A and B are shown apart, each in its own frame.
Chain A
Amino acid sequence: MTALDVLGFSGGALLGHRLRSALSLTGVTIGIAAVVVLTALGEGARRYVVEQFAAIGSDFVAVLPGKVETRGAIPGLGGTTHDLTLEDVAALRREIAGARHVEPVVMGTETIAAGERRRQVLVAGVTADFVHVRNVSVRRGRFLPRLGLDRGAPVAVLGASVAEELFPGVDPIGQVVRIGGRRCRVVGVLTARGQQLGMNMDEVALIPVATGMQLFNRSSLFRILISARPGVPLESLRDRAHEVLIARHREDDVTLLTEDSVVSSLSAILGVLTLALAAIATISLGVAGIGIMNVMLVSVSERTAEIGLLKAVGASRREILACFLAEAAMLSSAGGLAGLLIGWLGVRVLVGVFPALPASPPAWAVASALVLSVAVGSVFGYLPARRATRLDPVEALSGR
Chain B
Amino acid sequence: MIELDRLTRTFQLGDEEVHALEDVTETIRAGEHVAIMGPSGSGKSTLLHLIGCLDRPTSGSYRFEGRETADLGEGELDALRQRRFGFVFQAFHLVGRLTARQNVELPLVFAGIESGRRRQRSQEVLEAVGLAHRARHRPSELSGGERQRIAIARALALAPSVLLADEPTGNLDRRSGDTVLDLLGTLHAGGLTVLVVTHDPRVAHRAERVLMMEDGRIARRIPREGLAEALAHWGIEEPR
Contact = CB atoms under 8 A, between A and B. Distances in A.
A397 B110 contact: no
Contacts of B49: 394
A309 B139 CA distance: 15
B95 interface: yes
Interface string A162-199: 00000000000000000000000000000000000000
Report whether over half of chain A's contact residues are helix, strand or loop; otherwise say mixed: helix
A166 B83 CA distance: 97
A306 B80 CA distance: 19
A123 interface: no
Contacts of A397: 54, 89, 93
A15 B97 contact: yes
Contacts of B87: 309, 312-313
A299 to B, nearest CB: 12
A1 B83 contact: no
A33 interface: no
A306 B54 contact: no
Contacts of A398: 45
A313 B82 CA distance: 5
A135 interface: no
Interface string A308-339: 11111111110100000000000000000000
B149 interface: no
A12 B52 contact: no
A12 B55 CA distance: 29
A12 B95 CA distance: 11
A140 to B, nearest CB: 76
Interface residues of B, number: 29
A312 B160 CA distance: 12
B79 interface: yes
B98 interface: yes
Nearest to A393: B54
B98 A12 contact: yes
Interface in A256-315: 305-306, 308-315
Interface residues of A, number: 26
B35 to A, nearest CB: 20
A399 B92 CA distance: 12
A230 to B, nearest CB: 65
A2 interface: yes
Contacts of B110: 1, 310, 313-315, 319
Interface string A369-400: 00000000000000000000000011001110
Contacts of A305: 91, 93
Contact of A311 (B54, B79, B97, B98): B54
A1 B97 contact: no
A393 B89 CA distance: 13
A13 B154 contact: no
Interface in B22-55: 45, 49, 52, 54-55
Given A12-B98, A309-B95, A316 B52 contact: no
Nearest to B108: A313
Given A5-B109, A394-B54, A311 B81 contact: yes
Interface in A1-42: 1-2, 5, 9, 12-13, 15-16
B74 interface: yes
B111 interface: yes
B183 interface: no
A309 B110 CA distance: 12
B97 A13 contact: yes
Contacts of A15: 97
Contact of B81 (A16, A306, A312, A394): A312
A85 B93 CA distance: 94
Nearest to A313: B107
B95 A306 contact: yes
B78 interface: yes
A314 B93 contact: no
13 contacts: A1-B109, A1-B110, A16-B97, A305-B91, A310-B106, A311-B54, A311-B81, A314-B107, A315-B78, A393-B54, A394-B54, A397-B54, A399-B91
- Report, nearest first, the 6 A-B pairs whose CB atoms are least far apart: A314-B82, A16-B97, A313-B107, A314-B81, A312-B87, A315-B110
